[in-house]
Structure 1
Amino acid sequence: MLKVYYTFGCPNCGGPIDDEHLLAGVPCSKCLPGRVENLDYRVIYDLLVKNSTLKGYAEYFYDNETFEEIVRIFKRVIGNEPWNLQKYWIKRLAKSESFSLSAPTGLGKTTTLLVYSLFFSNTTLYVVPTNSLKDQICERLRNMGAKVSCNDVKEEYINVATFNRILRHYDNYVSLQPKLVIVDDSDMILKSGKTTEVMAKILGISEEIFQYAISLIRLKRILKFNEDDKELKNKIVELEYKIGSWKPFVQFLVASATLRPKGIKQQALRTLIGFEPSTIQTYLRNIADLYYQGVDIEAILDKISDNGGLLLVSKEYGREKMLELKEIIEKRGYSTGLAISGRKFLNKFTEGKIDYLIGSASYYGVAVRGLDEPKRLKYVIFYGIPKIRLNLTDALNNPSLIVKIGELLNIDVKDIRRKLLFLSPPEFQILRYSLMKDEELSGKLKDIKVNLINIKEKIWDVLKSDNIKKLKADTFLVTENNGKYYVYIPDTVTYIQASGRSSRIISNGLTFGISIVLVDNIDLLDILSQKLKKIIPNFMFKNINEVDIRELKSLAVSSREVSTSQKKKINIKTILLIVESPTKAKTIARLFGRPSRREVHGIPVYETIILVNDEILITNIIATKGHITDLTTENIGYYGVEVGNNEFNAYYSPIYKCYNCGKTFTIKSNTCPYCGSVFISSSEKVVSALRKLSTEVDEIYIASDPDQEGEKIAYDVAMLISPYNKNIYRIKYHEITRNGILNAILNKGKINMNLVKSQIVRRIEDRWIGFELSLALKSMFYERNHGSGRVQGPVLSWIVERTKEYKKNYGWILYIKLGDYAIKKFFRIKEEANKFIEKLNIKINLISERKEIQNPLPPFTTDSLLMDAYDKLGIGSQIVMKIAQDLFESGLITYHRTDSTHVSALGISIAKEYLESKNLNDSFSGRSWGNEGTHEAIRPTSSMDTESLIKDIEDNPNKYFIKFTKYHLRIYDLIFRRFIASQMKPAEVTYSKFEIFINGEKLEVELPTKISGGFSIIYPLKTYVVSEKYSTYLTKGSIIPLFTYAEIIKNMKEKEIGRPSTYAKTISALIRHGYVVESKRKALLIATNKGIKAYEFLSSCCSDLISENRTKLLLQKIDKIANGDVNVDYVLEDLHKEITQISGKLVNSLKLDTNV
């Protein structure tokens, strides 16, 4: 029977525990002897106390008890149960965690914080932006029975103060030394470095630690310019260790924010508090988005015939236009008020003394940011498209904008586009700053700047000479006005934020609002609409003349009544989404808006909102960084597996990584066993973070990769967090897109235990064979860097034998080029080749021609991508897999470890959309290719070709979290073209048969000479032009070619000894051990003397173990385990017998060699 033990997994003592105990949620058998069963956490606590074995479980118990206590107080003072989102916050508050409460107004942030400050019963500082809000907070706290001080500074009280008051009485508030600090609006403390320093001191952060954090931020910025600076990296690690040793003693809570910390001091504070204040969330939206052609406010007033509106005037019209509109509205019998500053206008609006508020369409304006009146505010009217206006002269200091406008004017910008594309973000910012300030640059940036200035001059020349009045791009508009040019960019953030004022929360329901845009520029409306469609699902502007405005008005009114079915009900759930890589975590978080960020035990966690049907998922996303456990190398059993009585107990340890040498190990140590460094990270930190987060949420979705390795990662995660949350689901996606993630969540399932078992067997087999062979090789050759494995053995044998044949048949190769077709001839000695060249006589006859209809190739699988990338682009398999991983994690291609050619209906529709956009409708021929299975072929996730991708990177520089290289673009282009071609009609190929006479020797060849139509438009095949005009090239070489990456991968697939996940790893392992080297020019694989000796030794003593046939049979057994067709215990028993027998042979072989 196979059982998994985790050497560090017990939730109480941190020692070894089996998966059965973890699944039941109870500590290990040492802490809690007896039968395994599900028990309530209180019962477990009592039993541990009774057994005198209580350790780490106490913290979990007390956190739960604190949560229950806060909920009891909440019910007592508020009169009802906390909502789901409030319970999520309370769970975090109960652990004394510092964090930002992220939610729209109306979801109970303030109420939760007031109840918690009441519970806290210690010196508290509650910071608010205005005096009116201070009075409201004080009154509510007094009504709850709290000890409140609203003017004087008092210990053991809840001190409520504006930040301005704190700045005036700075010393008093620092000496107060509060234990809890609550900030209603973090913009107050992030405005400047000075205000940030004030808050740092109130939070008890010493000057020394604050300066460490500032130094850390500076060094990380420098590192972006020199990523290979090892000394700089070590300094960063040292500072992180110093900062990590500091523990905050003040709990810090932030209720809302709109600014992101950009200054160095603000970022230092963020580093120390462990979270980034989150921006206002806009995920709750129940709005009719309408537009009216023109800016006739009176026409709109006639259509609405109602009060309760907010009129927002586009910024370029200024205050004068606001006053003009105020007068027009008042003449129609409505009272108005200007929402420009202060709060008095809001009170009057709430009381019904004002019918319409008028303000500026500015994101930071009080009318957009500070207005919250859910019952009265039904309409938001935009006078003009909300927009940002820039003088073109200033706008052309942005390198991306220079390129985009240059393109619109048909100026050649291809070269500079490519150069900008491959700049790092810091390099781009330096270039932009230099253009703005006319600062001197050097090196490549100087050359790029000179080119950009030349393009700027050409732009001005074309604009003036051609008298151009308007230029429309995808994201902006350029117009001429009285001889001046301006760039207009629709302000999507302001539109979302401002229109959202009309749809707010009342009694856990969402009111219905109406947004109306008075269109002053139809082009800008189109751009705004396209941008909003990328942010808001199913967004669409509707013409106000084509909707039933009475029905919409009725809905807006009825949704504001206390009891109504017209309110959109709010269903909120909190989830933890666990992925493998940090890039993937950031990409998914960004798909659903702009996430907030915090750190849990030093691990980044992104909080975002995912809408699934009518459910709102408050989603925390964290990355495991791959496997969090591996078979231990501690002295346990047979290389980490206890074997006996038909039982196999596999022990898994955390994975340790050395910051200095980069190596990983699974033996507990305070220093690196390879280099002795003390700077070591452990996956235990990740496990601790996962466990902490799992206690806070309703459900957990494990989204590791959809393969055997991913399933084992999912299993390890599930086991290690089971004691803290039972609502664990496995989700799988094959593309990181919005739809891909949503479909995965809708189809959540359970972990496939057959896949898990197959991976464990594969890992045990790899460990047993690898360690036995490595031990023998090291003993034989007295060198540490020796190793082998089941799959590596056959591959090494191919490369060794081919290298030997290559050397045996070494001589001179003559290349005779006939047009673009080449013929090779081999000669042992150079003189023979030279004689042959001297009398060279060539005659070519065209014998016949035939035409053939040729179907396109299927889309790529892993092996075909690796082969094509090498053959067409000369890129090795390891680099291709790294790039494919980047492209997958960035949401650009589907999962890249696959042996399926199947294309889904969505994939087919992507190809159709692309071909239609290129007016190639007639060439489309949709094909699903292989049978539908677990995976799909490698394909793009959208109809964006390479040129469009480059444009997307330019338009959205913060969208992707990888640094693109020319190789990324080439691989993407290869995948894209191959896929599109697979969905096109066949091409017509002309094959020509030639009779070639070389010095009288006859040779017949048939070659493709023409191709037309069908898929060849996108993915042309190679054709040849054969000519009697020839050229020759003589070089040293062999008639037996060395293996290429592509050929090895092809062999592995055909002989069934590899899998998509192991193709590249196998070759790289042989190179790492020094058995194989890669030729510099053509990346051919050559066996070294070390490799040849290792192969000969293994062949002599254990050829069966590394034979192709045995390797194939074992992999087939592992596949059968994955399919549930074979009992895992039988396979392990056979494997153990086989390897122990071989181990004996190896020992005997070594003894013989020693005696000799």
Structure 2
Amino acid sequence: MADTLVIVESPAKAKTIGKYLGSKYTVKASMGHVRDLPKSQMAVDVTNNYEPKYITIRGKGDVLKSLKDTAKKVKKIYLAADPDREGEAIAWHLAQYLGLDTSQPIRVVFNEITKDAVRDAFKHPRRINMDLVNAQQARRILDRLVGYNISPLLWKKVRKGLSAGRVQSVTVKMIIDRENEIKQFVPEEYWTITGQLIAEGQTVEARFHGFGEEKVEIRSKDEVDEILKRIEGHPFVVKKVTKRERRRNPAPPFITSSLQQEAARKLNFRTAKTMMIAQQLYEGIDLGKEGTVGLITYMRTDSTRVSATAQTEAKAYIEEKFGSEYALKEARTHGKSETAQDAHEAIRPTSVLRTPDEMKAHLSRDQLRLYRLIWERFLASQMAAAVLDTMSVDIEVNDVIFRASGSKVKFQGFMKVYVEGTDDGGKEENTFLPPLEEGQTLQQQNIEPNQHFTQPPPRYTEARLVKTLEENGIGRPSTYAPTLDTIQKRGYVALEDKRFVPTELGEIVHSLMQEFFPEILDVEFTSQMESDLDKIEEGMADWVKVIDEFYEDFEPRLKAAEEQMEEVEIKDEVSDEVCDLCGRQMVYKIGRFGKFLACSGFPECRNTKPIIKSTGVTCPTCKTGEIIERKSKKSRLFYGCSNYPECEFVSWDKPIARNCPKCTAMLVEKKRKKQGVQVVCTQCDYREETDA
């Protein structure tokens, strides 16, 4: 019989650790938290230092009984939950439930689930860190005070089922602010003039820069005509050639937010999916003969720090695989943000020797894709800088300056393995310029003016929103995914073309929050609150005092809102649709997933329909129906005929309202990874590039 009990959160983690520790240890899973604030009441005593009232979580009876029964039979108990605030709180709650002495070293933490890391951690147990526990308690109590006070108010004044959260409310505000920016945006006209010039039989593309030393923006067609008139008939002469060698460093290894962003850009993963798969890679994968091993370090971190052991292993691998010139002479350090806790290492493979290709047989497709991303990013971060030769050329024509620039990779360095993605999906390309010398005359091939209009700021994608939350110090690595999930479930925002748009319901709730609880929506206030929680964790602030300072201002606002907030009636908008069950008029209602059509005879008639979005394209199969947007069971967008099921036309690609100029068949928008969006014909080989 084992004489030591180890408690972790999940069965997968328990299975992995159990194999490392051997028969003297029994490893059991608590299945996450075992105690929490009850859902049925506030459970925070504001008159007694905000004392929380914890209860055991419903449904955990069998788990708790098993833990208690095992605890009675062993000599030692270790609590090995994850190495963060949440994990520390889980350990503390388990200690309280099992009656353990928290003055004893019963807490074990490790940043990676490998045999050496786990065994070493058990040689150095520590006491439960109450600063970490209090930071988690403070966050939980703050969120409870906000949510359980404001939510009932919204139920009473707007409608049942609504809620308001501290971090969620600021996130919704950001999405609404961006939507308002887009609505208020006034496009400005501007022009570019591009010249195709010939040098030594090669084309050089140069763009209008200005006059003499002055850079000039072209704002109208008249200005374009004036420039074209000025350069007509004059030679294009190379005025200045500037050559530079530029070094480019790799991106740092992943932290939680950058992993979420890059997985969205490169793998098209939602934030929650990224964290779920990362958890699987962290907790352990069965590698056959090698047994179960955690493939990555802990995935909730805001530090880019890397251990000396991992750096040494990576350097040896790089020298052997690519050559010594690709390895770093000295370890590279990456700057950290002001809000970074630096408690854990960056997200990296637990061993760089476990290459993605070698792991392929043991991982699912998505696990492999995420592991490859983490492995390549880490390896690149430990490699030498890339070296690029850049060339900038000023070409003069009657005192008008055109500028051409180019670059080529002289030494690939880290770029041999990995290059970071961008939010707009843009790709860096090498632009080669032929050898050019000052005084050289170039032959004019073509001069092309183009009209453009400035674009509004883009709506937030999940990646861009996570980046903005991080930059503003809102939330922490563990909160990004649940925050984005919650605001969608509440129906405050929706995803359209993978970008967040506020719903009517979201805007109504936001306007009430703005009027009565402006500090909850204040970015600086929320950021400062996160900073205060960090100070509690560091032992530099008292958690009761932090909450008290918040509640002193919050309580009078709450009383004012209860007295002054007027009821908001969300009136149903009557549609042109008639209910096909009872003949009454259908109305637009707001639900969890935005607007939908419902019978005005509810509750007698419960007929509902989705709102149909038309593409304006006639069905090419039946010629009478219209192609409309539909959603699959997994919420993937596709296009089908309005005459379904009589007509079964479907397309994953969006049809557009014009025919192919070559064969008159239907054109569709096709999204391709490398080429971006292309318009292609469904019958012949016709295709055209778009600016989308």
Normalised TM-score (structure 1): 0.40
| Structure 2 residue aligned with 1:968 | 367
Aligned CA RMSD, in angstroms, stands at 4.0
Partner in structure 2 of residue 184 of structure 1: none
Larger relative CO (CA 8 A, sep 6+): 1 or 2?
Answer: 2
* CA deviation map 1:763-793 (0-9, x unaligned): 0101111222322332232141x22222222
Note the C-alpha offset of 1:700.
1.2
* Pairing 1:410-425 to 2, within 5 Å after superposition: none
- Say whether 1:1073 aligns with 2:490: yes
What residue identity is the alignment partner of 1:694?
A
What SS does structure 2 have at the residue aligned with 1:576? strand
Question: Aligned pair in 2 of structure 1 residues 809, 647: CA closer, same or farther (>3 Å)?
Answer: closer
Matched residue, 1:578: 7
Q: Choose the corresponding residue for 1:906, options 283, 306, 309.
A: 309
Alignment partner of 1:619 is 2:25 = yes
Write the mapping of 1:155-170 to structure 2, written as runs, cut at 5 A.
none
Deviation at 1:715, TM superposition (A): 0.4
Shift of the alpha carbon at 1:895?
0.5
Partner in structure 1 of residue 17 of structure 2: 588
Q: Deviations over 1:418-463 (max 9, x none)?
A: xxxxxxxxxxxxxxxxxxxxxxxxxxxxxxxxxxxxxxxxxxxxxx
The equivalent position to 1:875 in structure 2, one of 269, 286, 305, is: 269
Q: Does the 8 Å CA contact 1:582/1:623 hold for their aligned counterparts? A: yes
Distance 1:739 1:851, change over 3 A: same
Selected match of 1:759 from 122, 132, 136? 136
In the alignment, what sits opposite 1:944? 354
Does the CA contact (< 8 Å) of 1:980 and 1:1018 recur in 2? yes
Aligned positions of 1:387-466 closer than 5 A: none
**What SS does the aligned partner of 2:346 have?**
coil
Match of 1:633 in 2: 39
Give the corresponding residue for 1:788.
164
Offset of residue 1065 of structure 1:
2.0
Q: Note if 1:893 corresponds to 2:292.
A: no
Structure-2 separation of matches of 1:756 and 1:940: 29
**Once the 2 structures are TM-superposed, how far is the Cα of residue 754 of structure 1 from its aligned partner?**
0.8
Aligned residue for 1:938, secondary structure, equals coil
Give the 3-state SS of the residue equivalent to 2:476 in structure 1.
coil
Alpha-carbon spacing, 1:1012–1:1136, altered in 2? closer, same or farther (3 Å): same
- What does 1:85-96 align with in structure 2 at a 5 Å threshold? 88=1
Contact 2:255 2:299 in 1 (8 A): yes
Q: Secondary structure at the match of 1:896?
A: coil
CA distance, structure 2, for counterparts of residue 773 and residue 1032 of structure 1: 57
Secondary structure of residue in 2 paired with 1:894: coil
Counterpart position of 2:500: 1085
The answer to which structure has the higher helix fraction is: 1
1:898–1:1060 CA contact under 8 A, matched in 2: yes
Matched, 1:1041 2:458: yes
Change (3 A) 1:804 1:973: same
Summarize the alignment of residues 634-1033 of structure 1 with structure 2, pairs less than 5 Å apart.
634-635=40-41, 639-644=42-47, 646-656=48-58, 682-722=59-99, 729-784=106-161, 786-809=162-185, 848-890=242-284, 891-925=294-328, 927=331, 929=333, 933-942=342-351, 943-951=353-361, 953=362, 964-965=364-365, 967-993=366-392, 1009-1010=408-409, 1012-1020=411-419, 1023-1026=428-431
SS state of the match for residue 501, structure 2? strand
8 Å CA contact 1:711–1:752 kept in 2: the answer is: yes
Give yes or no for the alignment of 1:1063 onto 2:468.
no
**What residue ranges of structure 1 are gaps of 5+ in the alignment?**
1-87, 89-572, 593-608, 611-616, 657-681, 824-831, 954-962
Is the Cα contact below 8 Å between 1:799 and 1:1086 reproduced in 2? yes
Shift of 1:707: 0.6
Name the CA distance, whole Å, in 2 between partners of 1:1047 and 1:758.
28
- CA displacement 1:369-399 (0-9 Å, x = unmatched): xxxxxxxxxxxxxxxxxxxxxxxxxxxxxxx
Q: Is the 8 A contact 1:815 1:822 kept in 2?
A: no
Tell me which of 1122, 1125, 1133 is aligned to 2:540: 1125
Q: How far does residue 705 in structure 1 lie from its aligned partner after superposition? A: 0.8
Which string of whole-angstrom CA distances, capped at 9 and with x for unpartnered residues, describes residues 1013-1063 of structure 1?
322222246532459999999999953211222322222222212211112
% identity of equivalent residues: 30
> 1:629 and 1:1001 mapped to 2: Cα distance?
73
Aligned 8 A contact 2:173 2:521 in 1: no
Local SS of the residue matching 1:695: helix
Q: 2:295 aligns to what SS in structure 1?
A: coil
Alpha-carbon contact 1:1010-1:1023 (below 8 Å) kept? no
**992 and 781 in structure 1: CA distance in 2 versus 1, 3 angstrom threshold:** farther
- Measured against aligned partners, the alpha-carbon deviations of 1:497-538 in whole angstroms (never above 9, x if no partner) come to xxxxxxxxxxxxxxxxxxxxxxxxxxxxxxxxxxxxxxxxxx
1:1076-1128 deviations in Å (ceiling 9; x for gaps): 22233xx2222222222221221111111221122122222211111111222
Structure 1 counterpart of 2:268, one-letter code: G
Distance 1:822 1:578, change over 3 A: farther
**In the aligned structure 2, how far is the partner of 1:1095 from the partner of 1:822?**
49
Give the 5 Å matches for 1:110-129: none
User: Aligned partners of 1:791 and 1:1094: how far apart in 2?
Assistant: 14
Cα deviations by residue, 1:345-366 (Å, 9 ceiling, x for unpaired): xxxxxxxxxxxxxxxxxxxxxx
SS at structure 2 position matched to 1:1078? strand
Quote how far apart the aligned CAs of 1:1135 are.
Answer: 2.9
Task: Read off the aligned partner of 2:333 and give its amino acid letter.
Answer: W
Decide whether aligned partners of structure 1 residues 1015 and 919 sit closer, same or farther in structure 2, where only a CA change above 3 A counts. closer
Offset of residue 995 of structure 1? 6.9
SS at match of 1:850: strand
Paired with 1:914 and 1:1105, the residues of 2 have a C-alpha distance of 50
Structure 2 residue runs of 5 or longer lacking an equivalent are 197-202, 208-219, 285-293, 421-426, 433-444, 570-692
CA distance in 2, matches of 1:1001, 1:1149: 65
Residues 1041 and 814 from structure 1, CA distance in 2 versus in 1: closer, same or farther, beyond 3 angstroms?
farther
CA distance in 1, matches of 2:428, 2:191: 19
> Do the aligned residues in 1 keep the contact of 2:301 with 2:342 (CA within 8 Å)?
no
Larger Rg: 1
Letter in 2 for 1:1095: H
Would you say the 8 A contact 1:1055–1:1108 is kept in 2?
yes
| Counterpart-to-counterpart distance in 2, 1:782 and 1:574 | 55
**1:736-778 deviation line (CA, Å, top 9, x unaligned):** 1111111111111111011101111100101111222322332
Question: What amino acid does structure 2 have at the position aligned with 1:626?
Answer: G
Q: Give 1:980 shift.
A: 1.0
Aligned partner of 2:44: which letter? Answer: V
Distance 1:1133 1:1040, change over 3 A: closer
Distance 2:401 2:237 in 1: 10
Would you tell me which structure has more strand in proportion to its own residues? 2
Residues of 2 paired with 1:913 and 1:906: CA distance?
11
* 2:15 alignment partner, SS class: helix
Task: Give 1:720 deviation, angstroms.
Answer: 0.7
Contact 1:577/1:701 (<8 A) preserved: yes
State how far apart, in whole Å, the 1-side matches of 2:105 and 2:243 are.
64
Alpha-carbon contact 2:158-2:568 (below 8 Å) kept:
no
Q: How big is the shift at 1:654?
A: 2.7
Q: Whole-Å Cα distance in 2 between the matches of residues 802 and 986 of structure 1?
A: 37
Letter in 2 for 1:870: A
